Amino acid sequence: MMFCYYVLLLLQLFSVGLSSAQDQIECYNVNTTTNKMVDNFGRERYFHGINVVVKGPPWIPNTQKFSSDWSFTDEDMKLLNELGVNVVRLGMMWPGAEPVKDQFNETYFSIAKDIVNKAANYSINILLDMHQDVLSARFCGEGVPDWIIDPEVAKNFPEPLSRPYIVDNATGHPTSEDCAKHAWAEYYPTEATSAMFQQIYDNKNGLLDELKEFWVKVATEFQNFSNVVGYELINEPWAGDIYRDPLLAWPQVADKKNLAHVYDTLSTAIWNVDPCHNVFFESVTWDEWTVGFEAVPGGKGNEHRSVLSYHFYIPPDIEASVSFDYRMKDLKRLQCGGFLTEFSITSSNPSNVMDEANKHLQSWMAWDFKPYYDITGDSGSIWFSNGSINANVTALISRTYAQAVAGKTISMKYDSKTSTFVLSYVVTESCTSTITEIYLNEAQHYPGGFEVTISPSDAATWNKEDTNYITVTHKSVPAGMIIQVTVARK
Strands 482-489 and 450-455: antiparallel
Q: Say which CATH number the domain at 314 has.
A: 3.20.20.80
- Residue 196 dihedral angles phi and psi, to the nearest 5°: -70, -40
Where b means 16+ CB within 10 Å and e means fewer, 357-387 reads bbbbbbbbbbbbbbbbbbbbeebbbbbeeee
Question: Which element (helix H / strand E) includes 366?
Answer: strand 363-366
Does residue 206 share a domain with residue 106?
yes
Q: What is the pLDDT of residue 389?
A: 93
Does residue 465 share a domain with residue 352?
no
Please return the burial class of 293, using the count of CB atoms within 10 Å of its CB with bins 0-12, 13-18 and 19+: buried
Question: Which element (helix H / strand E) includes 385?
Answer: none
Does residue 343 share a domain with residue 465?
no
Q: Is-catalytic flag, 303?
A: no
Q: What is the pLDDT of residue 373?
A: 82
Q: Which of 363, 398, 433 is the last residue of a domain?
A: 398
Active-site choice (191, 210, 236, 303) = 236
Total structural domains within the chain? 2
Please return the burial class of 463, using the count of CB atoms within 10 Å of its CB with bins 0-12, 13-18 and 19+: exposed
* Global confidence as pTM: 0.94
- Residue 473 dihedral angles phi and psi, to the nearest 5°: -115, 115
Does residue 214 share a domain with residue 96?
yes
Q: Which of 398, 430, 454 is the last residue of a domain?
A: 398
Is cis: bond before 158, omega within 30 of 0?
Answer: yes
Question: Which element (helix H / strand E) includes 272?
Answer: helix 260-273
Q: Which of 355, 373, 398 is the last residue of a domain?
A: 398
Asked if the structure places residue 411 within a domain, the reply is: yes
Does residue 410 share a domain with residue 390?
no
How far is the C-alpha of 275 from the C-alpha of 280, rounded, in Å?
A: 14
- Nearest in space to 254 (alpha carbons), one of 265, 242, 268: 242
Asked if the structure places residue 23 within a domain, the reply is: no
Asked if the structure places residue 225 within a domain, the reply is: yes
Q: What is the pLDDT of residue 19?
A: 37
Q: Which domain holds residue 281?
A: 34-398
Task: Name residues of the chain where pLDDT drops below 70.
Answer: 1-24, 378-379
| Angle, CA 102 vertex, CA 172 and CA 220 arms, to 5° | 125
Which residues make Cβ contacts (< 8 Å) with residue 421, sequence separation at least 6? Answer: 400, 401, 412, 413, 414, 415, 438, 440, 486, 487, 488
Q: Say which CATH number the domain at 416 has.
A: 2.60.40
Does residue 309 share a domain with residue 256?
yes
Q: DSSP label at 259? A: I
Partners of residue 474 on adjacent β-strands: 460
Rg of the chain in Å (alpha carbons)? 23
Asked if the structure places residue 22 within a domain, the reply is: no
In order of 169, 310, 325, 489, the CA distances from 348 in angstroms are: 42, 20, 21, 27
Asked if the structure places residue 315 within a domain, the reply is: yes
Hey, what amino acid is at 303? Answer: E
